[in-house]
Structure 1
Amino acid sequence: MSISLFTFEPWATIHQQQVEDALARVMPSEETSPARLHSAMRYAVLGGGKRVRALLSYAAAELVRAPAKSTDAAAVAVELIHAFSLVHDDMPCMDDDDLRRGKPSCHKQYGDATALLVGDALQSLAFQTIADTNAPQALKQVQVLAQATGSRGMCGGQSIDLQSTGLLLTRSELETMHQYKTGALIRASTLLGAYAAESTSEAHISLLNQYSENMGLAFQVVDDILDATADTQTLGKTAGKDALQEKSTYVSLLGIEEANALVKRLYEQTLQLLAGFDKQADPLRAIARFICERTS
C-alpha cells in the first residue's frame, strides 16, 4: 500500500539524519575521559535503528509549529532513553539477548558493568539535553519523560514483564503491561515534540494522547507478530524469544490473524482521529502507516 500524496521516505530520511547528527553532537567524544564509557555510549546509540520515536517527536512538533532547537532536543532525549532501555533489556539479568540492531549487544561488546553504566549515563544525558534548551515548556517535557521512564512507565512495564514470564495473561493485563513498557515512551516521544512549542493547546495534547495510545498498542502488536514470523537477520535481534521464554503476547493470546486485524483497526481509527487536520498532520499519518506495516 502507498502513503497518500505525502512522500514519507524523504521526510523520514532527512529527520533520521537530523537526529543522528544531533545525537553525535550531544554525546561526549570517545577521546573524552572516561573514554571506554563514552565509546560504549556512542556504540549503543549511533548508526542504528529506525528512529521511530524521534520521528514521532518531529511529526508532533510540525503539527504545532515548534522551533527547531527544542524539537531536536526532544528527539535526542527520547532516542537516548530508548537506547538506555535497549542496553539494559539485553543484559543477562533481563531479556538476555546477544544481538541488537544487527550487531553484538552493548554488554557483549563492552561487558556487563560498562553496559549498566551506559544505560545510567544515557538516561541522565536525556534530561540534561532538555534542560539545556531553557525552552518555555522544558519543565513539562522533563515531567512527561520522567513519568514515561519510571515505575509508572517503561521500568514498571519491564518489571511486570519479568514477573509474568511463564504466566498466561488476560488481554487486559497484557495491554496494561505494554501501555507501560512500550506505549509510555511512544506517548512521551509525541508529547515532547508537542511541548517543544512555546505553548500547546489542550486540543492538540488530547489528540496526540489518543494517537499515541493507538500507536503504542499497534507497535507492540506488530512487534509480537514479527517475533513470531520474521527471522533474526531481518529483525536485527534474536527472533522467536517470546515463545522460548513462554511470554504472553498478542500472538499467543489472539493468534496471527486476529493480531493483524487489530493492527488494521488501530490504523483506521488513527486516520479518523487525524481526519480534521490538513497536511501538517501528514507526517503523523505516514508514521502510523509505517508502524502498522513495518516488516522489521
Structure 2
Amino acid sequence: MVVPYVVRHPGTPVADLSSLFGVPEGELLDDLNLLFVSGLPPYGPGDLIDVQVEEGRVWIDMAEYFSRPVRLSRSEALALYLRGKALLGAPGLEEAPLLASALAKLEEGLGQETLGSLAGLVQVGTGGHVAEALAAVRGAVESQERLSIEYYSAARDDLSVREIDPEHVFSAIGNWYVVAWDHQSDEERLFRVDRMRSAEPTGETFVPRGLAGLGRPLYSRSDRDVSVRLLLGPAARWVAEYYATERALERDDGALEVTMPVKDLPWVAKLILRLGGEAKVLGPPELESMVRETAAATLALYRRGG
C-alpha cells in the first residue's frame, strides 16, 4: 500500500507515511531500503525500483506497475473472499463495516453462481463462549494474568484443562489466535480462541517471555509431521490458501494437487469428508483407509439416529 501511495504522492514526508500506515519510522525506512533490490525480471538496473529519501521525504520511481491495484485472478479473488468472510464473523473486529463493504464488491465481481457453491465451507464461531473467551484472553494479555482454559483439540478430538500465560492475541484467516506459554507441555503454544470452551483467570500473574506475536507462522513444523497429498477440485482450492502447504501443482483441468504437512491424519480425514467429491486422497494409503472408515462410522451413526 505504501508504494502506490508514494507513486501518486511523491515527496510525502516519512513522518506522514508512518502515521498514515501505522508503521514506526525506523521500520518503514528498513522496508523502503528493500525496494532497492525489488522489481521485475530480468532484474537489471532498468527493472529495479528507485527509492529516494531526502530531507525526510520519499520519492519512488520505476514502479509504475505498482501505481494501480493489481487485478485479481478468479482463484485469488475466491481465496480473498473466503478469508474475508471468515474474518467478518470473528467477534471484536473493529474494521467489520469496512470489511463488509469490500466483501460486497467482491461478491458482485465473483457472481452468485460462483459463490453459491462455497456456502458452508468456512465456519467461524461467533458470540457465546467465543466472545467470552476472547474477552478473557485480551484482559489476561493486558494484565499479564495466568488463565485456566478448557481446550478442544480438533486433531485429537480431545478436551483438556490447562494453564497458560497468554502474551499475544491476533486474528488471522478468520480465526482468533493466542500465543501463550502452556504449562502442561512446558513450551510455547498457539491456541485458537473458538476452541476454548472456557477461560478463567487463576489470580496468578506471570512475567512475559517475549514470545512472537502477529506475523508468526500459524503452523510450526516438527519431526512428527506427516506429508499428505490431495487433489483439490475448483470448489476446494481454498484449502491451499487456508492451510500450510509444501507444494502446489495446478493441473490443466483446474484441479490443484497439493502436499500438506499435518500432525494428525484423523483431522485430514474429516476435512476430506467435509469437501465431499471436491477432494481426493493421493497419499499416504493409510489416509485413504481412514477416510473410508470415518465415512462408514458417520453413516452408521446417521442410520442409527434416523
Which TM-score applies when normalising by structure 2?
Answer: 0.28
Which TM-score applies when normalising by structure 1?
Answer: 0.29
Return the structure number with greater helix share. 1
Return the structure number with greater strand share. 2
